[in-house]
Amino acid sequence: MSLDCSIDSSVDFEEWGAILSAPLNGGRYPLSATFELTNRCNFNCAHCYINQPANDEAACERELTTEQVKAIIDQMAAAGVLFLTLTGGEPLLRPDFAEIYTYARLKGLLVILFTNGALITEEIADFLNDLRPFSVDISIYGASRSVFEAVTRVSGTFSRCYAGIERLLSRGIPLSLKTELMTLNIDEIAEMKAFADEKGLKFRYDGLLWPRLDGIGEFPREVQLPLDMVVDLDNWDNERHDAVKTEIVRLKDLKTRDERVFSCGAGLRSFHVDSEGRMSICMMVRSPSYSLLEMPFMEAWERLGSLRKMKRSVISKCQSCTLNVLCSHCPGWSLAIAGNHESVVEFVCDHGKLRTENGLGIKSSELMEVMENYE
Amino acid sequence: MEALFKLTDRKIVRSNNFIFRQIVEELVLVPIRQNVAELDSIYTLNELGAFIWGKLESPKSHTEIEEAVLADFEIDVETVRTDIQTFIEELGSIGAVEEA
Residue-wise pLDDT for B58-97, tens only, equals 999 989 999 999 999 888 888 888 888 888 888 888 889 9
CATH number at A197 reads 3.20.20.70
Checking if the pLDDT of A332 tops 90, the result is yes
The reported pTM is 0.90
Q: Domain for residue A333, yes or no?
A: no
Nearest to B86 among A6, A9, A10 (CB): A6
pLDDT of residue A6: 47
Residue of B14, B15, B41, B66 for testing the chain A interface, max A β-carbons within 10 Å? B41
Helices (H) and strands (E) in chain A, counts: 14, 12
Domain assignment present for A190: yes
Contact B30 A129 (CB under 8 A): no
Question: For chain B, how many helices (H) and strands (E)?
Answer: 4, 6
Best of A2, A3, A106 to disrupt the B interface by mutation (most B CBs within 10 Å)?
A3
Q: What's the gap between Cα B72 and its chain centre? A: 16
- Choose among A180, A240, A174: nearest CA to A17: A174
Residue A92 has pLDDT above 60, yes or no: yes
What pLDDT, on a 0 to 100 scale, did the predictor assign at position A136?
96
* 3-state DSSP percent of chain B in helix, strand and coil, to 5: 40, 25, 30
Number of domains in chain A: 1
CB-CB neighbors (< 8 A) of A13 in chain B: 40-42
Domain limits at A300? 26-225+262-309
Measure in Å the smallest separation between the Cα of A99 and chain B Cα atoms. Answer: 15
Note whether residue A9 is domain-resident: no
Average pLDDT, integer, range A44-51: 97
CATH class of B2-99: alpha beta
Peptide bond into A211 cis (omega under 30): no
Instruction: Look at B42 and A16 and tell me if their CB atoms are within 8 Å.
Output: yes
What are the boundaries of each domain within chain B?
A: 2-99
Q: How confident is the model at residue A303 (pLDDT cuts 50, 70, 90)?
A: very high
Domain assignment present for residue A39? The answer is yes
Is residue A375, in this structure, part of any structural domain at all? no
Contact B19 A107 (CB under 8 A): yes
pLDDT tens for A134-171 read 899 999 999 999 999 999 999 999 999 999 999 999 99
Contact A24 B29 (CB under 8 A): no
